[in-house]
């Protein structure tokens, strides 16, 4: 997951507002979260896997404490997914989904 994905529909309330955390700097993802909430989203899901999990936590905390202080952490889901490597072997990678809500 190297790109951020935001839903570009006009009615964000009825769609999934998802941020996929990749290799960009933290503030890029914080801006995406703030933008989604300003467009009317009631929930935003921040997703990451592997070494980027700590960046996803940073995004959630910076968004909650510095920009939109009335946000709550609705849920945190952790898991493991299997990824194919270039050599064809399987590798287990940790995942996290952090749901922020108003």
Distances 32 to 15, 25, 79 between C-alpha atoms, Å? 15, 12, 24
- In tens digits, what is the pLDDT along the chain, a chain of 102 residues? 434 444 444 444 445 799 999 999 999 999 999 999 999 999 999 999 999 999 999 999 999 999 999 999 999 999 999 999 999 999 999 999 999 999
CATH number where 18 lies? 3.30.110.20
Number of structural domains the chain divides into: 1
Query: Do residues 13 and 39 make contact, with C-beta atoms less than 8 angstroms apart?
Result: no
Range of the domain at 64: 12-101
Which tokens in the block code for residue 49? 């896997």
Q: Is residue 1 part of a domain?
A: no
Burial of 39 (0-12, 13-18, 19+ CB in 10 A): middle
- Residue 35 within a domain: yes
Is residue 46 in a domain?
yes
pTM assigned to the model: 0.82
Half-sphere exposure of 79 (CA within 13 A, CB side): 8
Q: Give domain status of residue 6, yes or no.
A: no
């Amino acid at each position: 997951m190297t790109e951020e994905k935001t839903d570009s529909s006009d009615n964000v309330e009825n769609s999934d507002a998802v941020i996929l955390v990749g290799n960009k700097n933290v503030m890029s993802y914080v801006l995406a979260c703030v933008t989604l909430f300003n467009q009317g989203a009631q929930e935003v899901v921040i997703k990451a896997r592997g070494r980027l999990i700590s960046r996803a936590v940073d995004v959630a905390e910076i968004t909650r404490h510095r920009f939109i202080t009335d946000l709550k952490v609705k849920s945190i889901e952790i898991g493991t997914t299997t990824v194919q490597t270039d050599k064809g072997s399987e590798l287990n990678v940790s995942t996290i989904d952090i749901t922020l809500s108003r």
